[in-house]
């Protein structure tokens, strides 16, 4: 891994652990094993490096979500696979956590990939749920857009509750609640 790559990966790790405010250039350099000159050779400063790291994290999150979304199965099976996939619940969502960082939210460039990723997730879930409704898997009364927003909000809230409790149990309960609500709108398979 070259120096620029180590700097980006170190920044990603620190942003997830400490947030933007708590991530200093010195901490990035120390974790990356790079000097100040190397950092400023590859990036104009912390904002550019953080933006690169946030964009990479956003891209990775989308790719991980797309795997179960584009897999075979019903819409509910694919949403279930996404919600039940392995994740480090107690660390929280690496994108969702950035919404709590005032410096990220105050900077339009840093905020953009955060908002775009959450918008993409809501949109992708809405499309998947609409597909399930069109294929007769889900009741016509299910609103894909509001249901997708509910799923994302519950998922992000589940991370917060789990972190506050120091246990994944509240997150798992939130996911079970979402799946229970979807089950209530699932139609029996036609023979």
| Cβ 98 vs Cβ 104: under 8 Å | yes
User: What is the pLDDT confidence band of residue 189, given thresholds at 50, 70 and 90?
Assistant: confident
Average pLDDT for the chain: 95
Secondary structure of residue 89 in the 3-state scheme? helix
For residue 191, what pLDDT is reported?
66
- Residue % of the chain over a pLDDT of 70: 99
**What region does 186 belong to: left with phi over 0, alpha with psi -120 to 50, or beta?**
beta
- Please give the distance of CA 103 from its chain centroid, rounded to a whole number: 19
Contact criterion met (CB below 8 Å) for 183 and 76 = yes
Instruction: Estimate to the nearest angstrom the gap between the alpha carbon of 136 and the chain centroid.
Output: 29
Domain ranges of the chain: 57-184
Q: Is the pLDDT of residue 150 over 80?
A: yes
pLDDT digits (tens, 9 = 90+) for 12-55: 999 988 989 899 999 999 999 998 888 989 999 899 999 999 99
Residues 103-116 pLDDT 10s = 999 999 999 999 99
CA–CA dist 37, 92 (Å, integer): 33
**pTM of the predicted model, to two decimals?**
0.91
For the record, the structure tokens of 120 come out as 């993409």
> Which pLDDT tens digit goes with each residue over 151-177?
999 999 999 999 999 999 999 999 999
In the structure, what pLDDT confidence band is assigned to residue 5 with cuts at 50, 70 and 90?
Answer: very high
Q: Which of 107, 150, 117 is nearest to 19 (CA)?
A: 107
CA dihedral 6, 12, 14, 17 (to 10 degrees): -140
Residues 6+ apart with CB under 8 A from 66: 124
Q: In Å, what is the CA distance from 31 to each residue of 34, 37, 58, 117, 185? A: 8, 15, 21, 27, 48
Beta-bridged to residue 186, according to DSSP, are 138
Average pLDDT over residues 140-159: 97
Percent of the chain at pLDDT exceeding 90: 90
pLDDT for 80 beyond 90: yes
Query: Per-residue confidence at 66, pLDDT binned at 50, 70, 90?
Result: very high
pLDDT (average), residues 55-66: 97
The third-level CATH classification (topology) of the domain covering 57-184 is: Tetracycline Repressor; domain 2 (1.10.357)
**Residue that is written with structure tokens 């990775």 in the block:** 60
Cβ-Cβ contacts under 8 Å for 41 (sequence gap 6 or more): none
């Amino acid at each position: 891994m070259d120096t620029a790559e180590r700097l980006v990966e170190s920044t990603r790790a620190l942003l997830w652990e400490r947030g933007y405010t708590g991530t200093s250039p010195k901490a990035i350099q120390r974790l990356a094993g790079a000097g100040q000159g190397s950092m400023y050779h590859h990036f104009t400063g912390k904002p550019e490096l953080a933006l690169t790291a946030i964009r990479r994290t956003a891209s990775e999150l989308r790719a991980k979500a797309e795997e179960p979304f584009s897999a075979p199965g019903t819409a509910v099976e694919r949403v279930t696979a996404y919600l039940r996939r392995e994740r480090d619940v107690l660390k929280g969502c690496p994108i969702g956590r950035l919404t709590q960082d005032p410096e990220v939210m105050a900077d339009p460039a840093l905020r953009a990939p955060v908002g775009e990723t959450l918008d993409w997730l809501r949109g992708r879930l809405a499309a998947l749920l609409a597909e399930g409704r069109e294929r007769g898997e889900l009741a016509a009364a299910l609103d894909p857009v509001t249901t997708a927003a509910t799923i994302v909000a519950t998922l992000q809230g589940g991370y917060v509750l789990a972190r506050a409790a120091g246990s994944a149990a509240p997150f798992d309960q939130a996911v079970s609640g979402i799946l229970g609500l979807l089950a209530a709108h699932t139609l029996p398979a036609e023979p």
